[in-house]
Chain A
């Protein structure tokens, strides 16, 4: 992702970008019309190129109206995706899952590396209150709204009141999940520094751990409410505890290894990050270690136990400048627009209530923690975005409760789609208004001169 601040781009530059965007769409549109069915997986290559180029150009064009780059990537994916122009089909979106794996590992590594102990200490009080209030208050209130509008939600019809409470609590857990990727995406673009940026990053990374624990708790509590034969079992907690400890242990080991490599070798970091992203994510999944937490711990260790943090962050930024565009554009292509069209009234009601209670919870926690004024005003802004993590939770819930799981998941997809589009815009707006966005020009230089012709 390119930096936010830069020399003002002229109308000619914007016109070239718009024309190039048309060429990009035109090339793939022409090709997909000539060869509509693709038997091999070679079409993935064109899709990656298209998403990368169209996402970059769309983000540049949307920048003119103040929207974040992330919205541009998403929009490019939506327009080119299976539900609008069908330039990238469902199969290709599935084939791009390794890119998502890589992007998520880079996001978690970068997220951990951004968390310095001294800055964490400075926001520790606010963080503790926010975690408590945002988790408890938002969970309960959104669950209440869910109960209130349950008669408009098709998959809840036929559930008794106890089961309904169970489902509402599960929806409440979904509501307190945030998007580390969207947060990192916006921070990477804006290069924001300040209380809102620091608090957002720390809170969202911490909330990733909290929400996993909350989900296990709620599944345990909801099971006897939803299924007559179900009982409370602490076994889930044992498994979860092992997973969290193992993830942190593995992450610390990886972090130490990375720090040693960065110090002693420090070269070919692109290839090292690719190997870590692809190879270790797969291994972690195999040994039941939470990748996000492990990479987060690794980044944290590199930054806080060595002086190699800036080098790691710089490498991730370079690699991510390409990977993140494809990741978010793929997320856009993945958005189920027909489903959103079908469920939009309920989804909007749930999203609006979630955003409202998030703002209220933000205000309460800031007051209790005596946060600075800027944090009281904008501290909630990063918490509206949702993306892959929320969808992952909905899959877990759908698997745990197959009787209503698919309906639950569909509604979750629709709600996440809205939050995914609206959240980043709010966060960037807040960072701009809080004055934390970096407006320095990125490094540019004139081109190297041509060598003289050989005699």
Chain B
């Protein structure tokens, strides 16, 4: 297959994605994480049917780079709000802390396992452990949205789930910025890792400020697209050339816009509907990139990381049931609901693969893909149980139609 039919296929997926966010589609349609597209990409990719060959997939690297970076921008722009509601600061802190805790558990486990049982050199072991931790630290907000919209859930537990899921992105993307700056091959070798992290985030902040200033007082939608696209692509490309983390840079840019631009609501309304159309092709490409033909020790490490993540999440849920009022009595279910993984984990793995290609990146991407599948199996069901037990879903009446006034994203 050559590039043009594949590109057309991706555009068809994007078309599908744009219909899914449109008003005519049933909210909660499809799988929460978009795992079906991941599996489709895997089946079409070089590992199974080879409809899409390795070299073709590699040619689409810029598409992947732009896709994951745009996702970073969308996450940044919408980080502080769930629909029309601002996310309270304690919920952000809680979400970040939970992510950090899970990430630390997974990192420690993988580091120990890889040091003992894998033939990887020390630098690669650290890179693998750190990135595995980052990938496992995400809870996808799409899963929460899916359950909330499908079952019409409403209440403090639903809000907490949505807020902590959203907040988890901050830890993932900051940690990825650190790992990218630390890995060998980063530009600016004369400066420290911390300074390189500041460069990647600073790039996003400067371009975010620039975009906010250029958008000015009045809001012109057509001009705004040029400015937003221009600044985000410049930031993405500059960070990629410096071998830093483009997705972290665009996240910083989006967050800066969300904080300083007077048009933050307009910008969010503009970019949020683009998320699904960008996401589906990226998830499909992620599926095509997945490589299962890894050495046995690395496959075992993927399984170990996954078990570690499940244990850490459930433990976090237990901890929350003691400390957080809305989670009281549903700690284990809530912990299970946080297993849902999706776009961000895959985007982190893809970004890491672009930055540091090789067997470690393949392992991380496999872990992200398996996390999505396992999360799809356990996460939404657990959240639904938690919400039912907390009385935020009426068990006998699952919502058959979406609430027309619900925002387009959670």
Contact = CB atoms under 8 A, between A and B. Distances in A.
B214 A20 contact: yes
Interface string B232-250: 1111111011110000000
A322 B229 CA distance: 8
Most B CB within 10 A of own CB, among A56, A283, A447: A447
A451 interface: yes
B225 A449 contact: no
B385 interface: no
Interface stretch (A43-51, A334-342, A371-379, A407-415): A43-51
Contact of A34 (B87, B226, B236, B242): B242
A448 B264 CA distance: 8
Contacts of B237: 42-50
Given A44-B237, A49-B231, A447-B266, A16 B11 contact: no
Nearest to B4: A282
Nearest to B230: A53
Contacts of B226: 2, 52-53, 56, 321-322, 325
B86 A454 contact: yes
Interface string B1-44: 00011011001101100110010000000000000000000000
A264 interface: no
Contacts of A20: 210, 213-214
Interface in A2-59: 2, 7, 13, 16-17, 19-20, 23-24, 27-28, 31-32, 34-35, 38, 40-50, 52-53, 56-57
A360 interface: no
A349 B199 CA distance: 51
Contact of A31 (B19, B159, B227, B238): B238
A453 interface: yes
B61 interface: yes
B380 to A, nearest CB: 24
B269 interface: yes
B263 interface: yes
A318 interface: yes
A47 B81 CA distance: 32
B396 interface: no
B25 to A, nearest CB: 11
Interface in A257-314: 267-268, 271-272, 274-275, 278-279, 282-283
Given A2-B223, A31-B242, A450 B62 contact: no
Nearest to A320: B222
A53 B240 contact: no
B277 interface: yes
Instruction: Classify the secondary structure of B's interface with A.
Output: helix
Interface in B366-389: none
Nearest to B235: A49
A271 B277 contact: yes
Interface stretch (A118-126, A248-256, A437-445): A437-445
How many B residues are at the interface, by size bracket? 35 or more
Contact of B229 (A16, A49, A317, A449): A49
Given A278-B7, A444-B219, A451-B84, A42 B62 contact: yes
A446 interface: yes
A270 to B, nearest CB: 9
B233 A48 contact: yes
B183 interface: no
A448 B210 contact: no
B207 interface: yes
A55 to B, nearest CB: 8
A275 B9 CA distance: 9
A35 B4 contact: no
A445 B265 contact: no
A44 B241 CA distance: 10
A449 B234 contact: no
B18 A443 contact: no
A373 B91 CA distance: 71
Given A28-B238, A322-B225, A322-B226, A35 B187 contact: yes
A275 B8 contact: yes
Contact of B219 (A17, A278, A445): A445
B306 interface: no
A318 B15 contact: no
A448 B266 contact: yes
A27 B234 contact: yes
Given A43-B241, A275-B11, A447-B263, A7 B218 contact: yes
Given A24-B230, A447-B265, A447-B266, 11 more contacts: A7-B218, A20-B213, A20-B214, A27-B203, A46-B233, A267-B19, A268-B15, A278-B7, A278-B8, A322-B225, A444-B218
Closest 8 pairs (CB-CB, A-B): A46-B237, A49-B233, A53-B230, A49-B234, A444-B218, A45-B237, A52-B230, A448-B265
